[in-house]
Structure formats: structure tokens, C-alpha cells
Structure 1
């Protein structure tokens, strides 16, 4: 399929690329609901989605009112 070297580039047959997205999800009205175990469950769900759909999570931060995600 493809390989990722230590320089952060993805190499395949006939192509080289580095594509990253910074995603931010905010709760409705910025209410602080992502706490008391819900934050851990969100992290686990996002990590399982990354494995299922074959993308890498480079950075993830779950705050009480929003989630930051950097994916490759």
C-alpha cells in the first residue's frame, strides 16, 4: 500500500505526499460536557476509527468543550 518514513512523507508506487488535516469539533454552545470519562471514551473511539479507516492521528487533545485532532 504505502510507507511512511521518518521524514513524514508517504511513499507509494509513483507518488510522494504529505497531507495533514487539523480538525476541531466544538460542543453545542461550547458547553463543557466532554469530562468525567466521556473524554477517554472519545479518544478510544477516535483511535479505533483511525485503525479502521487507516489514517494516523498525529496529535489529539480533548478539552471539556472541544476536540483538536491532527490527522495524516
Structure 2
């Protein structure tokens, strides 16, 4: 709901720390870092250098429970 579509990807206009993401999903920062590494390796998330945003792939966004 906070992102905007940019082509097929969804841009989030802010960055979250791994610690904050862990708090939001109920896991530790270490586990969050491992998960984010896997998501980035699968090319489902991009973090453009020098920008304060995240880019999420359609497959990640469309599969989210609140995507509708």
C-alpha cells in the first residue's frame, strides 16, 4: 500500500533496517539478513545504490497477503 508501481516492479520510497524488518515480521536481525540475502540473490529485491528506496519484484509483491 505504501509503494508505487514502476513498470512491473514496486518501488518503496523508504528504506528499512534489517532490525526493523525483523521486528515487523517477528524474527531476529540475523535471520532477516539471511532472508534478504536469499531474496536479493533470487532477484526479487533490488536496492539501488545512492537512493533511499527499495524495488520489489512483481512475484514478491503479487504473492503478498495484502497485495489486493
Structure 1 or 2: larger helix share? 2
Specify which structure has the higher proportion of strand. Answer: 1
Return the TM-score normalized by structure 2.
Answer: 0.31
Give the TM-score taking structure 1 as reference length: 0.30
